[in-house]
Structure 1
Amino acid sequence: MSRFTVRVILIGSFTVILALLLSTLRYHWDFRAVWAYRELYYQGLINTILVSFGAIVLGLAIGLSAGLARVSRNVWLSEAASLYVGTFRGTPLLTQIYIFYFCVAVVVHYDNPFIIGMITLAIFSGAYITEMVRAGIESIDNGQWEAAMSTGMTHHQTLLHVIFPQAFRRIVPPVTGQFVSLIKDSSLLSVISVRELTKASEIVNATTYKTFEAYLPLALIYLLLTFPFSALTYRLEKRMNYEKRNASSSRGTFFS
Structure 2
Amino acid sequence: MDVNTQDKNNIFFKLFIDRNIFSLALNAIIVVGIFGGIFSFTAKRFENYMVDWGVVIEFLPRVLEGFKTTLILSLFSLFLSMFIGLIIYLGKVSNILFVRFFSTVYSEIIIGTPLLVQVIIIYYFIGTAFRIENRYFMGVLILSVFSGAFVSEIFKAGIDSIDRTQWEAATSLGFNKFQKYYYIILPQVFRRILPPLAGQLALLVKSSSLLSVIAVVEFTKVMQEIDSITFATVENYCVLAVGYLLLTYPISHFSTYLERKMAYGN
- The bucket for the TM-score relative to the shorter chain is 0.7 to 0.9
1:40 paired with 2:62, answer: yes
| Aligned equivalent of 2:170 | 148
Quote the Cα distance in structure 2 between the aligned partners of 1:111 and 1:135.
37
Which moves more between the two structures, 119-128 or 225-234? Answer: 225-234
CA deviations 1:133-184 (Å, max 9, x no partner) are 1121112122221122122222332233222222222111111110110011
Q: Alignment identity in percent?
A: 35
User: Is structure 2 residue 98 aligned with structure 1 residue 76?
Assistant: yes
What is the rounded CA distance, in whole Å, between the counterparts of 1:154 and 1:12 in structure 2?
54
Q: Gaps (5+ residues) in structure 1?
A: 245-256
Tell whether 2:34 aligns with 1:14: yes
Q: Which whole-Å CA distance do the structure 1 matches of 2:222 and 2:106 have between them?
A: 33
Query: In the TM superposition, what is the alpha-carbon distance from 1:234 to its structure 2 partner?
Result: 0.7
- Partner residue in 1 for 2:190: 168
- Amino acid in structure 2 at the alignment position of 1:112: N
CA distance in 2, matches of 1:8, 1:31: 21
Alignment counterpart, residue 77 of structure 2, candidates 44, 52, 55: 55
Unaligned regions of 5+ residues in structure 2, if any?
1-18
3-state SS of 1:24 partner: helix
What are the residue-to-residue correspondences of 1:41-120 with 2, within 5 Å? 41-120=63-142
Measured in 2, the distance between the counterparts of 1:180 and 1:42 equals: 18
Match of 1:189 among 211, 218, 227: 211
2:203 is equivalent to residue 204 of structure 1: no
Shift of 1:70: 2.5
Instruction: Find the aligned partners of 1:212 and 1:16 in 2 and give their Cα distance.
Output: 13
Distance in 2, matches of 1:109 and 1:12, equals 45
SS in 2 for 1:152: coil
Give CA deviations for 1:185-207 in whole Å, capped at 9, x if unaligned: 10000111111110111111111
1:242 alignment counterpart: 264
Opposite residue 208 of structure 1, the aligned amino acid is T
What is the rounded CA distance, in whole Å, between the counterparts of 1:128 and 1:207 in structure 2? 38
TM-score (norm 1): 0.86
